[in-house]
Structures are given as structure tokens and as C-alpha cells.
Amino acid sequence: MPHFDQPDDINPTQPEPSTVNSRPHPAANAVINHIEPGAYDSESITVLEGLEAVRKRPGMYIGSTGERGLHHLVSEVVDNAVDEALAGYCDTIVIRILPEGGIQVIDDGRGIPVKEHPKEKIPAVTLALTVLHAGAKFGDGGYKVSGGLHGVGVSVVNALSARLVVEVKRDGYRWTQSFSLGEPDGPLQRLEPSEETGTTVTFYASPDIFETTNYSYDTLAARLREMAFLNKGLKIVIEDERDDRDHTFLYKGGIIEFIKHLNQNKTPVHPKVLFFEGKRDGIEVEVALH
């Protein structure tokens, strides 16, 4: 579990007594519907309720609506891209801090699938962004888990964003869809042909929900550095468009370099880092001692 987060404050928004201290069971919100903007049949109303739950009690999904919760949104989106890297399809992730409280996360993975879900009849990418827990996994069991609080998914980020735009390059085209507080502004659009693949998510956390939308470069950079240490060979770039700062994290040595970094001002027990690794039943373990 390559996260070292402290547990977030529990329920800072004071949810109703019936939900205190419990995250909703995934199935409670696993409602999938046909989304037609402006259509108010019973099915689309259920979807709105699904994301309404997130907007009503954000703390239950992201820990808090303070600075910590705000930064957690970025992790949620980056974790999806890291999952794609763990699956072996993505080698670079760029995280851009935009002016006006925006964040853009770009990966060069396969792109979130755009084909219609056979049962639900809407594109898989739309499902991923509008249905709780229909995020990166799609039930294929093919992904390793990249992080601790991981799992609430990008639909939670969408629900809490005044605006979110997803751009996918896949299946020979560029595709895009935009959302306001989690609701599609319109259907997924097919744009010009493209031979590239990848996913870009751009979001603006709602200032009506979050106490602040001012991201800390240092907080994000520290978190992304850790992500890079724990995913050797993965290139993670942070760019701050507010003041033209940037940094690239790429550690070929993985946790060997991580432990040296952690111990840089300490006297190690072993002058050389001891490292061993093993794999069985699909579980990989790496150990570094210094």
C-alpha cells in the first residue's frame, strides 16, 4: 500500500446520525442509468441522487472539505493514472496546477474506454465519471491497488467539481465530455482522428463545497515524489502554471532510492541498502533495509 497518509478527520461535515462513522456500502450507490441532459425520468433522477449523496456529505467520501480533502481530489485522479501504469500501459503522468483553482492530470495510458457499456448503453467513460465505484476497475480484477484511501473514484471528484472535463484519445479519435457538479453538460463528443492514446482530466473543485481551492505545490510535490519512489520507472511531472515551477520525479531504483531519501539525515544501520523481493499468487513484495 504505497500511501503514507494519516487517516483523515472523520465526518467533519457532520453527516446525519444514521450514516455517522460509516462509508456507504458501494452497492448502495451502484446505480447505473441512462443519462440524457434535461431528462427527468426516474432513472436519471436516481443518478442525480447518487452524486447528490457525495455533494451532501463530501467528508464521508474524501475525509474533509478543508485543504486535506482538496488535495485528496488530486490523489484520487492520479491514482487512476497510476493504476494504468501498474497495469503496464502508462509511463508518464503530468499533474498541472492551473490558475483559478484548476488541476489537470494527463496520462499516456490506453485511455478510459469510450465504447457503450453493453447493458447501460452509455459510454464507459461517462459511467466512470457519473457512477460511484464504477471507476478504474470495471470489475475486471486486472488492476493492482495503488493506494490507501483509494477506491472512491473519479466520480467523487466529478461530483465535487464546479466543472470537470475529460479528454480521451482512444480507438482512433480524440473524445471529450464536460460536467458541472458531476452532471454531464452534454453527451461524449467524438473529435478529430488521433493515433495517440491517453486520458486527460481537468477539474475545478467547487468553491461552494471546499473551504479553499488553493493548492499547495509543496504538498502535491511531496505526495507525487512518494508515488514515483513507489512506482519505479514511472515518470511523474508536476507543473505549476501559477508561477512557472515544475519538477520531474523518476526513480529507477524505486524503494531503494526512497529509503536513502528517508534516511538522508540519519545514520543507517546498514551502510548499503539491503533489498529483496518476491512474488507469489499475484502478490508482489519489495523490502529495502538501510
Composition of the chain by helix, strand, coil, percent to 5: 30, 25, 45
Selected range binding ligand 0RA among 46-54, 76-84, 145-153, 175-183, rule: CB under 6 A: 76-84
| C-alpha distances out from residue 135 to 30, 128, 192, 219, Å | 11, 5, 26, 25
Question: What's the Rg (C-alpha) of the chain?
Answer: 20
Contact status: 80 vs ligand 0RA (CB under 6 A): yes
Q: At closest approach, how far in Å is the CB of 83 from ligand 0RA? A: 7
Outline where 6-122 has alpha helix (H): 26-29, 42-56, 58-62, 67-86
Site for ligand 0RA in 136-155 (CB under 6 A): 136, 138
Stretch that binds ligand 0RA, among 79-87, 185-193, 225-233, 240-248 (CB under 6 A): 79-87
Nearer to ligand 0RA, 112 or 221 (CB): 112
User: What whole-number distance in Å separates Cα of residue 55 and Cα of residue 217?
Assistant: 26
Please report where in the chains the cell 443518478 appears, as a residue. 47
**Minimum separation from the CB atom of position 135 to ligand 0RA (A):** 8
Q: Is 217 in the site for ligand 0RA (CB under 6 A)?
A: no
| Count of residues that interact with ligand 0RA, criterion CB under 6 A | 12
Rounded to an integer, what distance in angstroms lies between the CA atom of residue 228 and that of residue 222? 10
Applying the rule CB under 6 A, the residues between 95 and 114 that interact with ligand 0RA are 107, 109-113
User: Measured from the CB of residue 140, what is the shortest distance to ligand 0RA in angstroms?
Assistant: 7
In which residue are the cell numbers 500500500 written?
1
Contact assessment for residue 21 and residue 11, using Cβ atoms and an 8 Å cutoff: yes
- Looking only at residues 175 through 214 of this chain, which bind ligand 0RA when binding is defined by CB under 6 A? 199
290 binds ligand 0RA (CB under 6 A): no
The contact set with ligand 0RA (CB under 6 A) reads 80-81, 84, 107, 109-113, 136, 138, 199
